Amino acid sequence: MIPSETFHDITPISQDDGPHPVCSIDYPKEFDEAQGYLRAIMRKDERSERALELTALCLRFNPANYTTWWFRRQCLASLSISPSNFESKFTFFGLKFIAKDLMLAAKLGGTNPKNYQVWYHRRNLLEQSFSDIKSASGTDEVGNALELVNEEIEYIATVIAEDAKNYHAWSHRQWILKAINMESKWNAEIEFINGLLEDDVRNNSAWNQRWFVTHRGSKSIPFAIDDARQELSFSICKAEQDPYNESPWKYFVAVIKEQFRLIGTTPEFASLIGVSEKALEETKANFEQESKKDGMECTNLIAAHIDILEIKGDKTSIASAIEFAKLLESRYDPVRKKYWKLRAQQLEVVTK
């Protein structure tokens, strides 16, 4: 793989695992050779085109070697021509290098979709450009950056299409949305999430993304009450599709809890939680009518009801909550019977 002329002037450095190696790795000969040259090149700190090619070769063999990735970025930065007066906490990479390396990362990422180093490399390539959008420094930069943003969002979507719960893909996507903080992108993301929930209403990653997007990626921007109502409608609607599904019920309760912490003592909240409880009970009733099954089997629905009753906090509600918990314990949720027993006991303490 390495034409011998390319590194004719370099003496490769062997790995030398010492006299008593532990867990020796049986490297393919080509890899060992390539690494030998890389060790020498890195010792020299030669950040050239041939060094760049060499890192690509080594990364094909082991895309998890973070030191090789680091050195590759050193080469890219040295070969890039940063604009005059360039000042940034991020490294500058030339546009053609960004494009080329995004392709390399995509190629390596294809068979390694959960490799931390590959995703980190993408982020490193992009963070300077994305900060251009925020600072809106010059139209050319922003134009290029926006194109990169769109392409990157598209790319992540292809990874999610392969594995709709790829944690790295979602982390990277969240980073972009927050970094650029564009209303149009936040809104488009809701559509994207809705599409995923159509495919699989049980996709908890998509539910999590919905919470993230509707909060604009921040914990300090809770829902206004109208938005809360909308989210409650949305989650109930999805819960109806499959009342056994945990995700929409947890989301439902989370919306209520957030409002409780904000406006829990107000009549608006009393109305909100009243309406929510009714909707939950209706879902249970509809389920029983359509399926001819016992709605208590939908343990996630019942768990949500218990949470709501606990928040309501009045004597009757707590009594109902205890009853439900005891039913889950004794009959309907045997895997968690010890938990429900404890929960009933905790609720009984509340009553006193």
Partner 1 sequence: MLGFFDSPENLIRYSVDTHEIIEWIYTLQTLSHANEPGIAGFKGGTFLGNVQKDEFLYYNQGHLAMTYSALCTLITLGDDLERVDKKGIVKGLQCLQKDDGSFSSLHLGSENDLRFVYCACAISHILNDWSGVDIDRAVQYIQACRTWDGAISLIPGQESHGGSTFCGVASLNLMGRLKQVLDDHDNWRNELVQWCVSRQIEGMQGRTNKLEDTCYSFWIGGTLKILNCDHLLDQKLLRAFVTDCQSDMGGFSKLRDPGRSYYPDLLHSFYSLSWLSFSHTTIHEDDVINNGVHLGSNANGSLTLHPLNCTLGMSSRRIDMYRKGILNSSQIT
Q: Could you tell me if 9 and 44 are in contact, meaning their C-beta atoms sit under 8 angstroms apart?
A: no
Binds partner 1 (CB under 8 A): choice among 33, 39, 60, 194: 39
Contact pick of 14, 139, 265, 316 for partner 1 (by CB under 8 A):
14
254 lies in the binding site for partner 1 (CB under 8 A): yes
Convert residues 296-315 into a mask of x (bound to partner 1 by CB under 8 A) and - (unbound).
-------x------------
Alpha carbon distances (Å) from 337 to 103, 187, 253, 318, 322: 51, 42, 21, 19, 13
**Residues 6+ positions from 64 with CB-CB distance below 8 Å:** 112, 115, 116, 117
Among 6, 48, 67, 351, binds partner 1 (CB under 8 A): 67
Which letter, b or e, does each residue of 40-75 get, where b requires 16 or more Cβ atoms within 10 Å of its Cβ? bbbeeeebeeebbebbbbbbebebebeebbebbbbb
Q: Is 186 in the site for partner 1 (CB under 8 A)?
A: no
Window 328-347: contact mask with partner 1 (x via CB under 8 A): ------xxxxxx--xx--x-
Helices of type H across 200-314: 204-214, 225-241, 246-263, 267-291, 299-312
Is residue 18 a contact point for partner 1 (CB under 8 A)?
Answer: yes
User: DSSP E strands: which ranges in 3-55?
Assistant: none
Tokens read off for 25: 């790795």
Element (H, E) at 135: helix 116-135
The total of other beta-carbon atoms located within 10 Å of residue 249's CB is 26
Name the 3-class secondary structure at 182. coil
Interface region with partner 1, contact rule CB under 8 A, candidates 100-108, 206-214, 286-294, 313-321: 206-214
From the list 267, 268, 332, 266, the residue with the least C-alpha distance to 305 is: 332
Taking the least distance from each CB to partner 1, the nearer of 119 and 192 is 119
Site string for partner 1, 74-113 (x = CB under 8 A): ----------------------------------------
User: Residue 170 interacts with partner 1 (CB under 8 A)?
Assistant: yes
114 near partner 1, rule: CB under 8 A:
no
**Residue 94 to residue 49: CA distance in whole angstroms:** 14
Q: Tell which one of 82, 112, 137, 174 touches partner 1 (CB under 8 A).
A: 174
Q: Does 185 bind partner 1 (CB under 8 A)?
A: no
Site residues (vs partner 1, CB under 8 A): 13-18, 20-22, 25, 35, 39, 42-43, 65-67, 70-71, 116, 119-120, 123-124, 165, 167, 170-171, 174, 178, 202-205, 208, 211-212, 217, 219, 245-247, 250-251, 254, 258, 261, 303, 334-339, 342-343, 346
